Structure 1
């Protein structure tokens, strides 16, 4: 792979935390898509109260895995069950290291018997590519990057999500009737605007809807047909400012720290292969929660709610360690609903949109550390910030009151629990996902 490597960056910085820690993080927004169309507040409201079109075509990586060993490779490198994995079905791909801690997750779509597409951040894709090379599988792997470094790059697919309470009505209007009955995370083949593509039952914010996936060369007529059908329902295009905030309502943690920083020979070799200038090496690490030990930022699949995706009926990398973690004491993913008056006081009444991966300290009433945030966003329909957080079991009961320490620890040699006079925001523990449909009805079938 290209140099310098991630290991080169760690060696120069002195540690993985020192490499990634910053007090000037850049806010991530999807490339190419306009920041706003009608305004981020209106766009957030659309997937809550109306219907929205979210363009996912430009910010994700795709890795194509084909060949005689494609299924065996994926089965041996991920925790998912492949026994009844149908063609045109998708899964939340879950990959762990040899100690059972999460490398990352991605969307895995099976297109044919030995033909898969892995979509998402490149973390999982890089890990699988490296492991495949080391183990000598008879498989072809090729990757197509996102458009963040080259806005003129043409991706292989268009991806349009239609979601919100009126999504089904819009879809029936566009297709002159309901789509074929399809289970959650399964796809059917449909035609619109003279173009053939997949309709995957899936939604980012946990709202009812579909994700349409097809050849990017066909994106214009498909989008035009959806927009035309959506006129009567008040369809809103969602810009790059509002789009990432949907995950705060849907309960998906977008970028957990991958467990690739251990001192083992195998992980050192992997980091020496992996380029430094990837999200795993360059994604900022910041917030009021600070530890000089990168392992303190690791998570398990169970903490993120991926237990239902895990199967121990096959052998895979990290299987025994992950099984041991299943019943171990662990943190629980919750939604923290922050006090609106505290948010206004700390951020200012006109603070605008918030979209941050900052790891903020979550404290109990006596100031003790009980967890950390993983992702925080301002949701205008709810009038406050929502934070996806991992907290200790005794603090995970809905209704529990906690405090979020808001700001950035300086890192370095400053003590983890140093008094930094950072502002506090009171918050209430609520279920995750916070969106009721995502929690109660999203995956019922």
Structure 2
């Protein structure tokens, strides 16, 4: 696999990061202690390089109608300045990727796919655009994405944004975006994230990413800001019950089994790719009365479940763990797993086979952690 490096690779090296391959990118796994980075995000703030994510611009008179067809959600209903979480599905209803789309104008959207899926999503959108008056422009290679996540995120941003724009930051709602000036440049600032905390994501040209990274670190001095890697990002998103493509989501999984039924807009007037299959899946009761459903699992002991570990009921296989580890915030093991629907009710006691030894887990509602607002 080709190794890709973000525009911030040298900053990570200087900071002593340990690297790992993720979606073909060399990304910082951690800088010092993943536990310390996790706790910093929960209590203060963490700085993340998300430049491996994709950025695809969809523009033109038919942009909204096109995305209504290409995605499972109703993007035409999104107000300018707002964002929407959605899915891009195949004709069988399988999930190609979960994405966030930002509406920047009536005829302009920014679609953000996951790292390993960026090219696949861009190509799928281009293929699906036939017959629509739109342009699909994959800007992933020229764009960096930096996130500031945690309770101190807003205060840190206010150190960088001109005073006359402070209200743009403080009044920005969750799943909304606005253009602000940082370091003399106009950048897109979104109040989104993947940690379960308040936070922001900033889209910046590659050339300007290192200066922005350093400016954010300077602005975060006194606020407890630390650079954070993928290890902390994974433990944070797991606590927040957020699915990870390749773990909880794939082409072999549908929205209803994954608990993402509300993301699918079967009621929208337009046809969309996968609509017929998804309507049939829903009508059959998948994720409700038949098949499997994604659930949260809380460990009764100290040992953690890991991805692909079998889930058992009275010794019989009833599911499989998709993600699992000890929760740094909560102090006990947590996991997500697909289990047969009859065992998906919160309070159900199941066992996870931890390398030959059954360990008791309880089905619980997601998310495991919800921040105090």
Q: Is the shorter-chain TM-score for this pair beyond 0.5, marking a shared fold?
A: yes
* Distance in structure 2 (CA, Å) of the matches to 1:62 and 1:53: 20
Look up the match of 2:91.
98
Q: Give 3-state SS (helix, strand or coil) of 1:76's partner.
A: helix
What's the counterpart of residue 126 of structure 1?
A: 120
Q: Which residue of structure 2 lines up, in the alignment, with residue 335 of structure 1?
A: 296
Give the one of 37, 53, 71 matched to 2:31: 37
1:310 to 264, 275, 283: 264
| Aligned residue number for residue 208 of structure 2 | 218
Q: Deviations over 1:185-231 (max 9, x none)?
A: 11011112222212211121111111122223222332233222211
Q: Over residues 323-360 of structure 1, what are the superposed CA-to-partner deviations in whole Å (9 max), with x where a residue is unaligned?
A: 233351413332222344334xx9xxxxxxxxx6x333
Aligned to 2:100: 107
* Per-residue Cα deviation, 1:281-312 (whole angstroms, up to 9, x for no partner): xxxxxxxxxxxxxxxxx222123232332222
TM-score by length of 1: 0.67
Q: Does 1:162 align with 2:148?
A: yes
- Partners of 2:88 and 2:109 lie apart in 1 by 16
Unmatched tracts of structure 1, length 5 or more? 1-26, 146-154, 260-297, 347-355, 408-421
2: distance between equivalents of 1:189 and 1:180?
13
Q: TM-score, normalised by structure 2?
A: 0.79
Distance 1:206 1:134 in 2: 33
Give, in whole Å, the separation in 2 of the partners of 1:128 and 1:236.
33
The Cα shift of 1:75 comes to: 1.5
User: Is the CA contact 2:156–2:220 (under 8 Å) kept in the aligned structure 1?
Assistant: yes
More displaced 10-residue stretch of structure 1: 369-378 or 188-197: 369-378
Q: Which of 73, 95, 99 pairs up with 1:80? A: 73
1:64 and 1:142 in contact (8 A); partners too: yes
CA distance in 2, matches of 1:160, 1:244: 16
Query: Is contact 1:253-1:374 (8 Å) kept?
Result: no
Task: Report what 2:48 is aligned to.
Answer: 54
Aligned residue for 2:220, secondary structure, equals helix
What is the CA deviation profile of residues 34-84 of structure 1, one whole-angstrom value per residue up to 9, with x for unaligned ones? 332231110011122222112212x22333333444333321122111232
Query: Matches of 1:62 and 1:130 in 2, distance apart?
Result: 14
Inter-partner Cα distance in structure 1 for 2:29 and 2:90: 36
Relative to structure 1, the CA distance from residue 361 to residue 161 in structure 2 (aligned partners, 3 Å threshold; closer, same or farther) is: same
Instruction: Find 1:252's aligned residue among 231, 234, 242.
Output: 242
**Inter-partner Cα distance in structure 2 for 1:188 and 1:111:** 9
Shift of 1:374: 2.0
Gaps of 5+ in 2: 1-19
> C-alpha deviations, 1:216-262, integer Å up to 9, x for none?
32223322332222111211110233223322112222124643xxx
Q: 1:41 to 1:81 in 2, by over 3 A?
A: same
Deviations 1:403-429 (A, max 9, x none): 12245xxxxxxxxxxxxxx33332222
CA contact (8 A) 1:64 1:117 kept: yes
Change (3 A) 1:132 1:143: closer
Match of 1:325 among 254, 276, 281: 281
The match for 2:336 among 371, 379, 388 is 388
Equivalent pair of 2:85/2:98 in contact (CA under 8 Å): yes
Is 1:99–1:322's contact at 8 Å kept on the other side of the alignment? Answer: yes
> What does the per-residue CA deviation read over 1:97-154, in whole Å, with 9 as the maximum and x for residues that have no partner?
3333333312222333333333223547625634743773344334356xxxxxxxxx
State how far apart, in whole Å, the 1-side matches of 2:113 and 2:273 are.
Answer: 21
Out of 384, 400, 406, the position equivalent to 2:348 is: 400
Aligned residues: 338
Equivalent residue, structure 2, for 1:171: 157
Distance 1:322 1:189, change over 3 A: same
Q: CA RMSD in A?
A: 2.9
Aligned residue number for residue 14 of structure 2: none
